[in-house]
Amino acid sequence: MKIGFIGLGKMGFNMVHRLLINNHEVVVWNRSAESIKEIVKLGAEGANSLEDLVAKLPSKKVVWLMVPSGNPVDKNLDLLLELLGKDDIVIDGGNSYWRDTQQRAEKAAQKDIHFLDCGTSGGVWGLQNGYCLMYGGNKNAADYIEPIIKSLAPENGSVYCGVSGTGHMVKMVHNGIEYGMMQAYAEGFEILEKAPYDIDLTKVADAWQYGSVVRSWLLELAVNALKDDPKLEQLKGYVSDSGEGRWTVQTAIDFDVPAHVITASLFTRFQSRQEESFAMKMLAALRNQFGGHAVKTKE
């Protein structure tokens, strides 16, 4: 199958590489010309603009977007809607907010163009292991791109979720769960690290992968990290977020769902970015005021 692919970041580049390995033809465009040159060496066909990319595709054009959420998606989609025709397909494979996806699908439908949303999980390991794909939108359009889905995903690693927005909603909740799982591992390992014993965290994490109810791919990745830096001394405790946790919490509020763990894990990430917390200073000050408890000053 021949498709267009826009966005050659960490995920996009490897996804195109996997498609090429599976004998698909891929026309690529990216803001960085260097990335285009690198993937062309692997067999892709380069384009010098969106117009050029669309012109190089056969009828019933399929274009996969792998760009950051928000404005980059809208800008590319608006341009593509002027270049594509009836029954052509645009796929947003990035992490977009599902409500935005619904609006984009409606805009595309006004021009008889299908807009599919595909949540993509697999990170930098996807090239080797495949990507778990959660996709939604028009069923006929979704069926049409099935050869692409089958090549990108491992066996049983894809799911058609339903109407427009459902793919991105499922991926959003997936990432919210991921936040909670990561936080639980982080807290558990800190308890062990603080214990007055010489516990080898790498060996513990490795053993937990066999028969334990907490075994997971995340735990496997924890073993990798601990092997490289057993005390994580080379890292700062600064954890960013790319939006999915916030959207999950907001959706939980919208649906009146008590999502305690996911919400707490999101707020913990916010806390990790504070060099000094005014809230913690206020807590210390209040304890000192009502109980005379000792405080630590900068001096």
Q: What is the pLDDT of residue 293?
A: 85
Q: Tell me the average pLDDT of the chain.
A: 96
% of residues, the chain, pLDDT over 90: 94
Q: Is 178 a catalytic residue?
A: yes
Among 34-38, 95-99, 154-158, 291-295, the least confident range: 291-295
Same-fold call for 2-163 versus 172-275:
no
For residue 106, pLDDT beyond 80: yes
Number of H helices, E strands in the chain: 14, 8
Fold of 2-163: Rossmann fold (3.40.50)
Q: Is 171 a catalytic residue?
A: yes
How is residue 40 written in tokens? Answer: 């062309």
Strand-pairing partners, residue 158, are: 133
Q: What is the pLDDT of residue 252?
A: 98
For residue 295, pLDDT beyond 90: no
Q: What is the pLDDT of residue 31?
A: 92
Mean predicted confidence (pLDDT) in 147-155? 98
Options 37, 171, 233, 281, the catalytic residue = 171
| Closest among 59, 28, 65 to 45, alpha carbons compared | 28
* Torsion 77-82-85-86 (CA) sign: positive
pLDDT digits (tens, 9 = 90+) for 239-281: 999 899 999 999 999 999 999 999 999 999 999 999 989 998 9
Options 25, 178, 220, 236, the catalytic residue = 178
CATH architecture of 172-275: Orthogonal Bundle (1.10)
| Residue 104 CB partners (closer than 8 Å, separation 6+) | 73, 74, 77, 92, 96, 115
pLDDT digits (tens, 9 = 90+) for 108-133: 999 999 999 999 999 889 999 999 99
Q: What is the pLDDT of residue 298?
A: 80
pLDDT digits (tens, 9 = 90+) for 167-218: 999 999 999 999 999 999 999 999 999 999 999 999 999 999 999 999 999 9
Q: How far is CA 134 from the centre of its chain?
A: 12
User: How many other β-carbons are positioned within 10 Å of the β-carbon of residue 225?
Assistant: 13
The residue extents of the domains of the chain are: 2-163, 172-275
Q: What is the pLDDT of residue 271?
A: 93
d(CA 12, CA 16): 6
Q: What is the pLDDT of residue 16?
A: 98
